[in-house]
Structure 1
Amino acid sequence: MPTSDPDCPFCEIVQRDDPDAREVYRDEHVVAFFPTEPAVLGHTMVIPRKHVPDIWSMDEETAGHLARATVRLAGAIREAVHPEGLNVIQSNGEAATQTVFHLHVHLVPRWDGDAMGPIWPEETDYSEEEKDDVLMRVRTACRSMKP
C-alpha cells in the first residue's frame, strides 16, 4: 500500500501542503488537527501519516501508534477545554458516513446540550433469534482470527 495518495486531502495535511490545516500534534506516526467544520470547539481528528483507507486496511503496528496517540490527545483535550464527556468516533465506508477515505479518529468533546445531540437510536426491535444468530457468526469469525 502506498504511504500517501496524491488525491487525498488528509495526505496533503500529512505532507504539510494544506495551509488551512489547524494542526495540533504531529509525531513520526500520526498527525492531529481540527476539522474545517468542527462539531464542537475542541473537535480533533487523528490520522496515521501513512495512507490507510479504512480500519480493514490497517496493520496492527499502525493501529497501536494511532491508539496511543488517541489516548494522549484525549487527555490533552480534557486538560484544554474541560469537557463533560468525549466521543471517540471512527467510521468506515460510506454507509457509516466516512467521507474522506483516509482512516481517521474523531475526538469530540461533549457538553450537556451541545450541538452534537444523541448519536444512538432510542431503541431497536431486533428479535432474540436475530441477536443470537449474529452472536454465533461473530464468535465463529473470532475463532478463525490470528492471535
Structure 2
Amino acid sequence: MSAYDPDNIFGKILRGEIPAHKVFEDDQVFVMMDIFPQAKGHLLVIPKAPSRNLLDADPAVLARVIPYVQKLARAVHEALQPDGVRVMQFNEAPAGQSVFHLHFHVIPIYEGVPLGRHGEGRADDGELAEQARAIAAAL
C-alpha cells in the first residue's frame, strides 16, 4: 500500500484550495455533497485526520468518525425521505477507491431508481447546494 499523499483532492478541499458543497464541518470531519453522485443526496463524510483509507487509519479516528456517519445518514433520511440509506467505504483502487483519503459514502436509496455509476455524471451545482442546505437543516 502506498503512503498517504496530502495533495489528494480531499486534502486540497480540506485546506480550502478547492471549493465544495459543504454540508457540515467541525474540528473532526468535513461533510460535502459528492459532485458525481450515485443518487440524489449522495454525500461524503471525510475525517480531517490524514489517512489513505481504513487500512492505515488510527482506530481512535475511526471511533470518532462513525457517529458522524450515523448522524449524517439520519439527516439524509429525514431531509430527503429516501426508501433506504447505503453507507459505503472503499480501500485501494481494486476495491473501487478513487480518492486516497479515508472517506465514507452516505447514499440515499430510492426504490425503483437505479444507482448511477461511481464517479460518473457530474451533478448540477444548484441541485447540490439545495440538497446540502436541506441535509444541514436536518442536522
- TM-score, normalization by structure 1: 0.73
1:95-125 Cα offsets, whole Å, 9 max, x none, are 11101100110000001122317xxxxxxxx
Aligned partner of 2:137 in structure 1 is none
Aligned partner of 2:70 in structure 1 is 71
- TM-score, normalization by structure 2: 0.77
Aligned partner of 1:11 in structure 2 is 11
Aligned partner of 2:101 in structure 1 is 102
Aligned partner of 2:30 in structure 1 is 31
Residue segments in structure 2 that go unaligned for 5+ positions in a row? 117-139
In structure 2, C-alpha distance between the alignment counterparts of 1:70 and 1:64, rounded to whole Å: 11
In structure 1, C-alpha distance between the alignment counterparts of 2:37 and 2:76, rounded to whole Å: 14
1:46-90 Cα offsets, whole Å, 9 max, x none, are 011122101111111100121011011111111110110011000
In structure 1, C-alpha distance between the alignment counterparts of 2:4 and 2:26, rounded to whole Å: 15
Contact 2:45 2:69 in 1 (8 A): yes
Letter in 1 for 2:84: G
Letter in 1 for 2:60: E
Q: CA RMSD in A?
A: 1.8
Deviation for aligned residue 1:3 = 9.2
Aligned partner of 2:50 in structure 1 is 51
Q: Where has structure 1 moved over 4 Å in runs of 4 or more?
A: none
Aligned partner of 2:126 in structure 1 is none
Letter in 2 for 1:89: M
- CA pair 3-92 structure 1, distance change in 2 beyond 3 A: closer
Q: Which has the larger radius of gyration?
A: 1
Aligned partner of 1:139 in structure 2 is none
In structure 2, C-alpha distance between the alignment counterparts of 1:98 and 1:3, rounded to whole Å: 13
